[in-house]
């Protein structure tokens, strides 16, 4: 309650605080998706020189109309994936976010402590135990029994309404 009066905070005020957590969450996601697209294109085409890479990036970012995304300054951030051998690292990071949010949702859906323990064992056996010996997508499918969904990530970012109790 209120520190002076003890009155409960109005529900509308609580809702506005919760809603404000999602404010501007779409723009960083749009940046990630746009740069992941640039990353995939740069790694899937035969780029001959820096000018060609800048042109390709500017074409993609112009279509996406990403405010504040400059191919001239942004492409320097791609040094890591090129120099470390982590091709398409921007896409891979975004895909990892999708997998993590969807896997976490499985634990949120668990009905009781026994279900959480069983799910934890399944997670250990299907995700952790194989390590790098299997593709992340195959491991995920074994864990969830289906392919990944983007909705849990959007919910985590506050860009999609929470699931209702069923």
Q: What is the DSSP secondary-structure string of 66-80?
A: -TT--HHHHGGGGHH
* H-only helix segments in 45-124: 50-64, 71-74, 79-84, 89-109, 113-123
Nearest to 101 by CA among 143, 142, 136, 150: 150
**Cα–Cα distance between 52 and 75 in angstroms, integer?**
12
Q: How many helices (H) and strands (E) does the chain have?
A: 9, 0
Nearest to 155 by CA among 12, 21, 16, 14: 21
**CB-based contact 152:102 (threshold 8 Å):** yes
pLDDT at 166: 38
**Taking 50 as the threshold, does the pLDDT of residue 133 lie above it?**
yes
pLDDT at 67: 57
Q: What pTM does this model have?
A: 0.70
What does the pLDDT look like over 91-110, one tens digit per residue?
Answer: 888 899 999 999 999 999 99
**Taking 70 as the threshold, does the pLDDT of residue 160 lie above it?**
yes
**Cα–Cα distance between 64 and 30 in angstroms, integer?**
8
The pLDDT of 124-133, averaged and rounded, is 93
pLDDT at 165: 45
Tokens describing residue 121: 């064992």
**Taking 60 as the threshold, does the pLDDT of residue 79 lie above it?**
no
- Among 59-68, 99-108, 151-160, the minimum mean pLDDT is found in 59-68
pLDDT at 111: 93
* Burial class of residue 58 (count of CB atoms within 10 Å of its CB; 0-12, 13-18, 19+): middle
Tokens describing residue 10: 């109005």
- Among 5-19, 31-45, 102-116, 120-134, the minimum mean pLDDT is found in 31-45
| Total Cβ atoms within 10 A of residue 140 | 21
> What confidence tier does 164 reach under pLDDT thresholds 50, 70, 90?
low
pLDDT at 101: 96
**Taking 60 as the threshold, does the pLDDT of residue 130 lie above it?**
yes
């Amino acid at each position: 309650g209120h520190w002076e009066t003890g009155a409960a905070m109005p529900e509308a005020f609580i809702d506005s605080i919760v809603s404000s957590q999602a404010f501007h969450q779409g723009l960083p996601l749009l940046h990630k998706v746009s740069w992941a697209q640039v990353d995939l294109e740069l790694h899937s085409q035969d780029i001959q020189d820096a000018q060609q890479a800048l042109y390709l990036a500017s074409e993609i970012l112009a279509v996406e109309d990403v405010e504040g995304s400059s191919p001239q300054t942004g492409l320097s951030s791609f040094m890591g994936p090129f120099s470390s051998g982590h091709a398409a690292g921007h896409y891979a990071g975004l895909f990892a976010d999708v997998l993590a949010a969807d896997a976490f949702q499985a634990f949120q859906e668990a009905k009781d402590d026994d279900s959480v323990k069983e799910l934890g064992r399944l997670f250990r056996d299907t995700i952790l135990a194989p390590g790098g010996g299997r593709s992340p997508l195959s491991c995920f499918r074994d864990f969830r029994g289906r392919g990944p969904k983007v909705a849990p990530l959007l919910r985590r970012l506050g860009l999609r309404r929470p699931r209702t109790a069923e």
